[in-house]
Amino acid sequence: MIDKNGKLFGIVNVVDLLVGIVIIALIAVVGIRLTSSSRNAEGQNLVNGEKEIYVTLYGNSIVPEAAEILKPGDKLVANNVFTNAEIVSVDVKPAAYITTNSDGEALLQEHPIWKDITVVIKDKVNASNPILKAGNQEVRVNYNFILKTQQFEANCKVRDIQLKDIQNTTGE
């Protein structure tokens, strides 16, 4: 099988053949890794199960000037770039806090300055993934969420998650 010149079947040098096999294997491994990592990088491959996710966020004790900056249509920011997630609605109310009266009873009061915000954001997700993300952040009820736009940032809690079928708005 190997002749006196070190060629397999008199055609290919054994060392060249082994080097070729190693190169082909490396190319195959790199190709598989690149295609699988791009498909799973965000866990949001939107091929099957694509839905709109509506996430209700609650932020408390926000200064009024900051709360007034939020507007429907604002895009969320993650990793210094805009995401596809956007604000759908903003509700600003006086912040609730607990105080006591002269008898030591707990009372729920409205804070004279600070505001509580309820913000609904919308994004597209693959609903078949085990981890849902909106604005490139994992979302689960009672999970922390950093609501960040170009001009605003606050820590919020996820209060509600709704998945809805995507409505065709192109008129087709």
Question: pLDDT digits over 109-162, tens only?
Answer: 999 999 999 999 999 999 888 999 999 999 999 999 999 999 999 999 999 999
Q: At 169, phi and psi to the nearest 5?
A: -100, 5
Residue 67 lies in a domain: yes
Q: Let me know whether 36 and 56 are in one domain.
A: no
> How much is the pLDDT for 44?
47
Q: Are residues 35 and 55 located together in one domain of the fold?
A: no
Indicate whether 111 and 31 sit together in one domain. Answer: no
The predicted structure's pLDDT at residue 18: 85
Q: Residue 58 pLDDT > 60, yes or no?
A: yes
Q: Are residues 61 and 34 in the same domain?
A: no
Query: 27-53, pLDDT tens digit by residue?
Result: 998 888 777 654 554 444 445 578 999
Please determine, for residue 97, whether its predicted confidence score (pLDDT) is greater than 60: yes
* Residue 12 in domain: yes
Q: How far apart are CA 68 and CA 46, in angstroms?
A: 34
Q: Are residues 75 and 105 in the same domain?
A: yes
Read off the pLDDT band of 169 (50, 70, 90): low
Mean pLDDT within 61-87: 95
**Is 141 in the same domain as 103?**
yes
Kindly indicate the confidence band of residue 78, based on its pLDDT and cuts at 50, 70 and 90.
very high
Do residue 29 and residue 64 come from a single domain? no
Hey, how many other C-beta atoms are within 10 angstroms of the C-beta on 126? Answer: 19
If one counts the domains in the chain, the total is 2
Residues 78 and 135 in one domain: yes
Mean pLDDT in the chain? 87
Query: Is 170 domain-assigned?
Result: no
> Starting at the edge strand that comes first in sequence, how are the strands of the sheet with 153-164 ordered?
75-78, 81-100, 106-126, 50-62, 153-164, 144-148
Whether 13 and 62 share a structural domain:
no
125 and 56: one domain? Answer: yes
Q: Are 155 and 146 in contact (CB under 8 A)?
A: yes
Instruction: Report pLDDT for 131.
Output: 92
Q: Is residue 77 part of a domain?
A: yes
Per-residue confidence at 16, pLDDT binned at 50, 70, 90?
A: confident
SS (H, E, C) the chain: CECCCCEECCCEEHHHHHHHHHHHHHHHHHHHHHHHHHHHCCCCCCCCCEEEEEEEEEEEEECHHHHCCCCCCCEEEECCEEEEEEEEEEEEEEEEEEEECCCCCEEEEEEEEEEEEEEEEEEEEECCCCCCEECCEECCCCCEEEEECCCCEEEEEEEEEEEECCCCCCCC
On whether residue 160 sits in a domain, the answer given is yes
- Which domain does 139 fall in, by range? 50-164
In whole angstroms, what is the distance from residue 156 CA to residue 137 CA?
12
Q: Does one domain contain both 80 and 11?
A: no
